[in-house]
Homo-oligomer: A and B are copies of this chain.
């Protein structure tokens, strides 16, 4: 027996705005933050039998103000898990998802979007972490050890049947079932390919941009992403620097973070096409499915990528149905955990769109490696055109941080080996960056009001 005895939700904020880390054309001053959920149990942790009791640790990512609002929503949603038996949860995570999404009063606040969906992701991410720790396995392993039926049973297929039936989902999973071990062996050798965004934040100087691009080349990156969209002349100058350092053969991606209207996106990309970008990311409103399709038709062969703000599986379904994107950048803090992610991975496989998840932020890299491994091993089954985001900051706050290394096939996430979803933070980090009463914020006189 292992019972969930309590829930703790923390509002954790890192002062990233001070160094322009994470700055882009829409988000100039983000303080990278996490609404962090701890599910406490009364059972020993199999990985540390004499230590602290077993816990589940999950989060969603925000960029500062309002993180308290998400934390409060998570607190209300997670309360339903207190008193539940962990093994019972683990045996039917589809039912856990349905229970937590069945509250029609809270549903009204979305539905399935915004604060209540972000907070649901945090709670369910913690539940998945708990399940994996209880099993003594990394989460990706828990998932790839499931049968096709078990994977379909945890997936939220509601509202998808016009694009993907349960039988089609099963057929996709069964077609990859026999070869899962080969792909795991591949990943054990090479890791999962990544690209870096660390070089290209908009607030960095040209000299810093040039140096960071060179460092990325030296570190073995085949793909580098830059932020664009604030000023066309500056974009041209910065992309020229990046392309010069990267040479003609490495991939350069660009990201406009939703600043353009559709006609403006098309016009601006006409000016940037000469730098041969692999994709333009978030060219316009994340809600604009038909707009992305229009941009894609106009800028081909440059690809269109989006997803970090795509709020649920119904939106991804339509992005696929409308031929609107070349790359699916789902987000582990915005979709409602593995349950909704599996549905999107299945849709992407059916429509033949490569999944290149969004990461960075706080803890997103830690989660996303599990998702990309699941996709390659059990669902998409392919690395062609796939590359997952990696940003090199804030990993020091995690007890099991992701590891990126070049083992001869380019820079890659090393396969996670420790139990869980890799999202536990050090208590010391919480003590320092808990808002507004952590030691960092007390020193900097944080006052808990907006603006």
Contact = CB atoms under 8 A, between A and B. Distances in A.
A206 to B, nearest CB: 24
Chain A, interface size category, equals 35 or more
5 contacts: A66-B76, A103-B451, A114-B115, A162-B263, A288-B318
Q: Report, nearest first, the 9 A-B pairs whose CB atoms are least far apart.
A: A114-B114, A115-B115, A64-B105, A162-B262, A65-B105, A159-B285, A76-B450, A287-B314, A161-B261
Contact of A26 (B104, B112, B290): B104
A6 interface: no
Given A26-B107, A159-B261, A287-B311, 5 more contacts: A31-B105, A114-B311, A159-B288, A162-B263, A285-B314
Interface in A109-136: 109-118
Oligomer copy total: 2
A69 B69 contact: yes
Is chain A's interface secondary structure helix, strand, loop, or mixed overall?
loop
A66 B29 contact: no
Given A76-B449, A114-B110, A290 B321 contact: yes
A387 interface: no
A354 interface: no
Interface string A267-303: 0000000000000000011111111001000000000
A339 interface: no
Contacts of A284: 159
A116 B69 CA distance: 9
B69 A108 contact: no
Contacts of A288: 159, 314, 317-318
A315 interface: yes
A98 interface: no
A353 interface: no
A64 B309 CA distance: 27
Nearest to A266: B162
A450 B106 contact: yes
B451 A80 contact: yes
Contacts of A95: none
B62 A451 contact: no
B161 A66 contact: no
A287 B312 contact: yes
A258 B159 CA distance: 9
Contacts of A104: 26-30, 63
B111 A309 contact: yes
Contacts of A264: 161
Nearest to A29: B104
B80 A450 contact: yes
Interface in A37-71: 62-66, 68-70
A335 B263 CA distance: 24
Contact of A322 (B72, B107, B290): B290
A254 interface: no
A251 interface: no
A66 B116 contact: yes
Contact of A105 (B66, B79, B105, B258): B66
Which of A64, A69, A80 is packed against the most chain B CB atoms within 10 Å? A69
